[in-house]
């Protein structure tokens, strides 16, 4: 009998364990989870709705959403991609729906639907789920079972043997520790997908105001500039929204190296050229000279944001369009198209977190997710140096890598 142990009871761990147990019903699959509540991150993801995947069905396009790992995932996505995820969940009684931005959720709008599906499917497939089973180490070979490849030591002191081992520990340090002990290189883990702290009381007083689209440019000394366009949300601590989260993902390492101190350049009107913005303002000066600048906005921005921008360039609430000097007009154009804010730290993105870094991808066979260094050792999910932008991409890489690992572990040819 093939003995398989999966460490980590999250999305990747469950999916890999299920795949292995279904393909090889004679395999003994044990799923070890340190806490007493498996799939905790799935429960809180997507604001409790669980953003299962993204409606992007072309691998070449799909990989563009991964700041790290896209190249390695290309082949993997030809074997298991979002369409396969949809089909898998539908076959197990869960229908998914697509929202306007491409994100896919269960039609119930409840992450518990996904949690219950994975729990019941694992049970039906014969996976032995052991919660409260924290792992403290793993080594090659077992003293009590020389034929086994791995010996796993639990916090309780219990030792388990297996032929095949899947590390699906997410960003938990124990996964990195075991991988290193078995000879793997770890790219230093740093946060990805976070919001920007902006110490600007006048701006943060606009909390709740959103603009779509804006164009953001991130400037960190000695690094190339990064840009993202998309929706922006002003919060009570700074800036959030898809454009910020994507920028944080692509700039994760450079922002970490700068201690999250950087300059953000905001173009509030990316669909207009700078000269077009100028013409809008000149037209207002000509056509509405007696109107107050602060109350007569001439571009498509929320009213409170317009008033903030006007005040930034020193225009009083009583100033009229006729009084607008060329110098102030130029400042207003600049503030609308190249406003600068200082980033002073990062905030959390809801209760979710994504890590950039993990097991070096050059040490993994992406057809099977098996280690190139240690036969019978597999990896799936966030323990790998793979991370995606917001929108269901991190879950998709977890489903894909776990499914491929599960199939390979269950194969009798190992």
The DSSP symbol for 59 reads H
Q: What is the pLDDT of residue 118?
A: 98
Alpha-carbon 186 to chain mean position: 19
Contacts of 330 (CB under 8 A, 6+ apart): none
What sign does the CA torsion over 260, 266, 271, 273 have? negative
Characterise 221 by phi-psi region: left (phi > 0), alpha (psi -120 to 50), beta (else). Answer: beta
CA dist., res. 261 & res. 282, Å (int):
37
Q: What are phi and psi of 160, to 5 degrees?
A: -120, 145
pLDDT (tens, 9 = 90+) of the chain, 414 residues, equals: 899 999 999 999 999 999 999 999 999 999 999 999 999 999 999 889 999 999 999 999 999 999 999 999 999 999 999 999 999 999 999 999 999 999 999 999 999 999 999 999 999 999 999 999 999 999 998 555 555 799 999 999 999 999 999 999 999 999 999 999 999 999 999 999 999 999 999 999 999 999 999 999 999 999 999 999 999 999 999 999 999 999 999 999 999 999 999 999 999 999 999 999 999 999 999 999 999 999 999 999 999 999 999 999 999 999 999 999 999 999 999 999 999 999 999 997 665 568 899 999 999 999 999 999 999 999 999 999 999 998 999 999 999 999 999 999 998 654
Q: What is the pLDDT of residue 348?
A: 75
CA dist., res. 208 & res. 193, Å (int):
20
Q: What is the pLDDT of residue 200?
A: 96
Q: What is the pLDDT of residue 379?
A: 98
Q: Where are the beta strands (DSSP E) in 107-225?
A: 128-130, 135-140, 150-154, 159-162, 164-167, 186-192, 195-198, 210-219
Whole-number CA gyration radius for the chain: 25
Q: What is the pLDDT of residue 11?
A: 98
Say if pTM beats, i.e. exceeds, 0.95: no
Q: What is the pLDDT of residue 144?
A: 55
Characterise 381 by phi-psi region: left (phi > 0), alpha (psi -120 to 50), beta (else). Answer: left
Q: Map out the domains of the chain with their CATH numbers.
A: 1-189+352-409 (3.50.50.60), 194-350 (no CATH)
100 burial level (CB within 10 Å; 0-12, 13-18, 19+) = exposed
| 331 cis-preceded (ω within 30 degrees of 0) | no
| Residues 21 and 58: beta-carbon distance below 8 Å | no
Alpha-carbon 38 to chain mean position: 20
Q: What is the pLDDT of residue 141?
A: 81
What sign does the CA torsion over 299, 240, 186, 410 have? negative
Q: What is the pLDDT of residue 412?
A: 60
Q: How far is CA 96 from CA 90, 103, 202, in A?
A: 8, 10, 41
| Residues 17 and 126: beta-carbon distance below 8 Å | no
CA dist., res. 153 & res. 325, Å (int):
74
| Residues 190 and 252: beta-carbon distance below 8 Å | yes
| Residues 170 and 383: beta-carbon distance below 8 Å | yes
Q: What is the pLDDT of residue 142?
A: 57
> Closest Cα to residue 94, out of 138, 141, 42, 56?
42
CA dist., res. 151 & res. 110, Å (int):
38
């Amino acid at each position: 009998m093939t003995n398989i142990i999966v460490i980590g009871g999250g999305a990747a761990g469950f999916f890999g364990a299920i795949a292995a147990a279904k393909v090889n019903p004679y395999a003994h699959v044990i799923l070890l989870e340190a806490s007493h509540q498996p799939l905790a991150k799935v429960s809180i993801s997507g604001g409790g709705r669980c953003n299962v995947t993204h409606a992007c069905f072309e691998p070449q396009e799909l990989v563009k959403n991964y700041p790290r790992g896209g190249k390695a995932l290309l082949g993997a996505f030809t074997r298991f991609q979002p369409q396969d995820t949809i089909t898998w969940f539908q076959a197990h009684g869960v229908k998914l729906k697509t929202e306007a931005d491409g994100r896919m959720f269960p039609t119930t709008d409840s992450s518990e639907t996904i949690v219950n599906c994975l729990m019941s499917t694992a049970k039906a497939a014969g996976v032995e789920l052991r919660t409260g089973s924290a792992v403290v180490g793993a080594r090659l070979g077992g003293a009590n079972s020389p034929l086994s490849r791995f010996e796993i030591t639990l916090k309780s002191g219990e030792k388990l043997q297996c032929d095949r081992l899947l590390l699906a520990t997410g960003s938990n340090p124990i996964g990195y520790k075991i991988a290193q002990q078995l000879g793997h290189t770890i790219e230093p883990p740093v946060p990805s997908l976070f919001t920007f702290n902006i110490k600007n009381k006048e701006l943060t007083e606009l909390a709740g105001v959103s603009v779509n689209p804006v164009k953001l440019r991130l400037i960190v000394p000695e690094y190339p500039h990064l840009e993202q366009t998309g929706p922006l949300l002003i919060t009570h601590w700074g800036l959030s929204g898809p454009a910020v989260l994507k920028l944080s993902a692509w700039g994760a390492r450079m922002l970490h190296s700068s201690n999250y101190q950087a300059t953000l350049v905001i173009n509030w009107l990316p669909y207009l050229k700078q000269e077009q913005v100028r013409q809008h303002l000149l037209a207002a000066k000509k056509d509405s000279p007696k109107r107050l600048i602060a109350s007569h906005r001439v571009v498509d921005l929320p009213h409170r944001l317009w008033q903030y921008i006007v005040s930034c360039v020193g225009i009083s609430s009583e100033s009229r369009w006729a009084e607008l000097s060329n110098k102030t007009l130029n400042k207003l154009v600049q503030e609308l198209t190249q406003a600068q804010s200082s980033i002073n730290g990062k905030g959390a993105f809801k209760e979710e977190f994504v890590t950039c870094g993990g097991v070096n991808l050059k040490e993994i066979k992406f057809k099977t997710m098996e280690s190139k260094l240690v036969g019978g050792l597999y990896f799936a999910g966030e323990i790998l140096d793979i991370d995606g932008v917001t929108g269901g991409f991190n879950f998709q890489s977890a489903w894909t890598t776990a499914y491929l690992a599960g199939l390979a572990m269950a194969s009798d040819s190992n």
